[in-house]
């Protein structure tokens, strides 16, 4: 199949999933065009069958606002004409589903076989941004107009119905990762370096884009309570708007010597392999790709009972989920796990096995291929 995949290049799960899907589909013999404003974070050069198509948004002195929707639509039309795309697959509805809809209409006016459109909903494109009254009508219309729609969790499928009143069929296809790459490494050098100064007993980790929805302040507070009982270190991977506030909070609690803010890191597997515990106390999380990555590296996750996280983590079996406001409960679970090696290893291994059973590339990518075939054959209902 010839497929155009549209995504954001900024660090975020939707761009990661779209880029990994593009690579996996190219390896499986499809002709893939990844369309984005920048090279995505996870892009790897040299994959046969995979081409990058840049969206250039020109500026003009009259405009205060960049005309990204128009530039993207125009790129979709150009790439579709040149490569005779079968499918345009938009990741993140805002405004990618709208661009796909517009491109489809332009191409339908000149061809009997315009590309079919597929939209994958990721989370905040519905729960925070898409349902904002400034966008809701156009987002709902664009989702209804897609030839096929997928959501990364059952929870997001329901949210799309309730928040936007969308009634059409939505297929749930979960996020995935390459299980042969995401596994715990034996190399302990990073862990030793992190613990060198004070001989810490455990590493607690958080990875995110430090936006308010991730509640990095709650991560620091949970760690403060853990640290009262266990000589642990907190490693904060990533960057974003709430990083400075979290650093100040750690300093105000007298924790500066025990918390490392290490910024954005490409080798996530090496970092996760140094961790004993992963905290994800988000306010909302339609899937929680970071939790999946940690689980695949045998790191037990303590997360909020919100959105799609209960579909990823089986409470008490492959990790723990707590009420988002239950900071004390999360801290107690953390202390329990860090004090009990057997429990921590059992949960870590169960997490890894569950990821291998449900969320590996070879299990999930064929579901996208089947979905594309169903869309092309007209078997998907709006
Ligand atoms: O969080 C966002 O605003 C964007 C989005 C992204 O691009 O990372 O995150 C969502 O999509 C991820 C990939 O499907 C999910 O793993 C995240 O749970 C989801 N974020 C939220 O729902 C807050």
Same domain, 365 and 314: no
Does any domain span residue 259? Answer: yes
Number of H helices, E strands in the chain: 15, 13
Q: How does pLDDT run across 297-314, given as a tens digit for each residue?
A: 999 999 999 999 999 999
Same structural domain, 168 and 297: no
Running DSSP on this structure, what letter comes out for residue 115?
P
Return the DSSP state at 212. Answer: G
Question: At 196, is the pLDDT very low, low, confident or very high (cuts 50, 70, 90)?
Answer: confident
Alpha carbon distance 372, 378 (integer Å): 10
Are 128 and 213 found together in one domain? no
> To test the ligand 1 pocket, which listed residue (15, 89, 93, 122) has its Cβ within 8 A of the most ligand atoms?
122
Half-sphere exposure of 140 toward its Cβ, with a 13 Å CA cutoff? Answer: 16
Q: Are residues 238 and 286 in the same domain?
A: yes
- Judgement on whether residues 106 and 216 belong to the same structural domain of the protein: no
Give the Å distance between the CA of 287 and the centre of ligand 1.
Answer: 7
Q: What is the mean pLDDT of the chain?
A: 96
Q: What is the pLDDT of residue 301?
A: 98
One domain, residues 202 and 153:
no
CA atoms within a 13 Å half-sphere pointing along the CA-CB vector of 305: 12
Residue 135 lies in a domain: yes
Q: What pLDDT does residue 10 have?
A: 83
Ligand 1 within 6 A of 213 CB? yes
In-domain check, residue 184: no
- Residue 311 is predicted with a pLDDT of 98
Together in a domain, 100 and 241: no
- The string of pLDDT tens digits covering residues 3-52 is 999 999 987 899 999 999 999 999 999 999 999 999 998 899 999 999 99
Can you tell me which atom of ligand 1 is nearest the CA of 12?
8
In the predicted structure, residue 199 carries a pLDDT above the cut 80: no
- Please give the pLDDT value at position 62: 92
**Domain range spanning residue 296?**
189-358
181 lies in a domain?
no
Any ligand 1 atom below 6 A from CB of 287: yes
183 in a domain, yes or no?
no
288 lines ligand 1 (CB under 6 A): yes
* d(CA 45, ligand 1 centre) in Å: 25
**Distance (Å) of CA 296 to CA 247, 290, 313, 351:** 28, 10, 12, 7
Do 100 and 213 lie in one domain? The reply is: no
Interval 248-253 mean pLDDT: 97
Residues 82-107: pLDDT tens digits? 999 999 999 999 999 999 999 999 99
125 lies in the same domain as 143: yes
Domains of the chain: total: 2
231 with 308, same domain: the answer is yes
Structure confidence at residue 382 (pLDDT) = 82
Probe ligand 1: pick from 8, 10, 14, max atoms within 8 Å of CB?
14
Confidence of residue 259 (pLDDT cuts 50, 70, 90): very high
CATH number at residue 308: 3.40.50.2000
pTM of the model: 0.95
Asked whether residue 227 falls in the same domain as residue 297, the answer is: yes
CA atoms of 297 and 317, how far apart (whole Å): 16
In a domain, 382, yes or no: no
Residue 198 pLDDT? 78
Residue 341 near residue 108, CB atoms below 8 Å: no
If you measure from the C-alpha of residue 152 to the centroid of ligand 1, how many angstroms do you get, rounded to a whole number?
A: 9
Supply the pLDDT for residue 200: 83
pLDDT tens by residue, 102-129:
999 999 999 989 999 999 999 999 998 9
Give the separation between CA 345 and CA 322, rounded to whole angstroms.
20
The pLDDT of residue 11: 74
Same-domain check for residues 160 and 246:
no
Predicted local distance difference test score (pLDDT) of residue 122: 97
pLDDT at 234: 97
């Amino acid at each position: 199949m010839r497929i155009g995949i549209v995504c954001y290049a900024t660090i975020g799960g939707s761009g990661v999933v779209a880029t990994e899907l593009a690579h996996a589909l190219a390896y499986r013999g499809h002709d893939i065009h990844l369309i984005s404003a920048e090279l995505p974070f996870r892009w790897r050069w040299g994959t046969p069958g995979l081409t990058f198509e840049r969206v250039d948004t020109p500026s003009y002195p009259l405009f205060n606002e960049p005309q990204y929707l128009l530039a993207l639509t125009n790129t979709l039309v150009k790439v579709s004409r040149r490569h005779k795309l079968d499918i345009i697959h938009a990741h993140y509805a805002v405004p990618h589903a709208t661009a796909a809809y517009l491109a489809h209409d332009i191409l339908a006016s000149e061809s009997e076989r315009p590309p079919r459109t597929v939209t994958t909903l990721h989370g905040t494109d519905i729960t925070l941004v898409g349902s904002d009254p400034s966008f809701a009508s156009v987002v709902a219309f664009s989702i209804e107009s897609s030839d096929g729609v997928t959501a990364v969790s059952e929870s997001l499928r329901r949210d799309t119905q309730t928040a936007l009143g969308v009634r059409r069929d939505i297929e749930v296809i979960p996020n995935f990762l390459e299980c042969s790459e995401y596994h715990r490494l034996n190399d302990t050098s990073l862990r030793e370096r992190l613990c060198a100064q004070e001989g810490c007993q455990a590493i607690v980790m958080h990875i995110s884009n430090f936006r308010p929805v991730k509640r990095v302040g709650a991560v620091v507070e949970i760690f403060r309570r853990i640290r009262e009982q266990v000589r642990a270190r907190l490693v904060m991977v990533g960057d974003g708007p709430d990083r400075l506030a979290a650093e100040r909070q750690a300093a105000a609690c007298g924790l500066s010597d025990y918390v490392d803010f290490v910024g954005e890191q490409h080798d996530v597997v090496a970092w996760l392999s140094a961790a004993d515990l992963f905290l994800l106390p988000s306010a909302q999380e339609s899937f929680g790709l970071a939790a999946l990555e940690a689980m695949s590296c045998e790191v037990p996750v303590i997360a909020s009972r919100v959105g799609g996280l209960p579909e990823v983590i089986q409470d008490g079996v492959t990790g723990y989920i707590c009420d988002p406001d239950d900071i004390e409960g999360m801290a107690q679970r953390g202390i329990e796990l860090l004090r009990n090696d057997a429990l921590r290893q059992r949960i870590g291994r169960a997490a890894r096995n569950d990821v291998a059973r449900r969320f590996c590339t070879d299990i999930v990518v064929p579901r996208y291929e089947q979905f594309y075939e169903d869309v092309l054959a007209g078997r998907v209902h709006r």
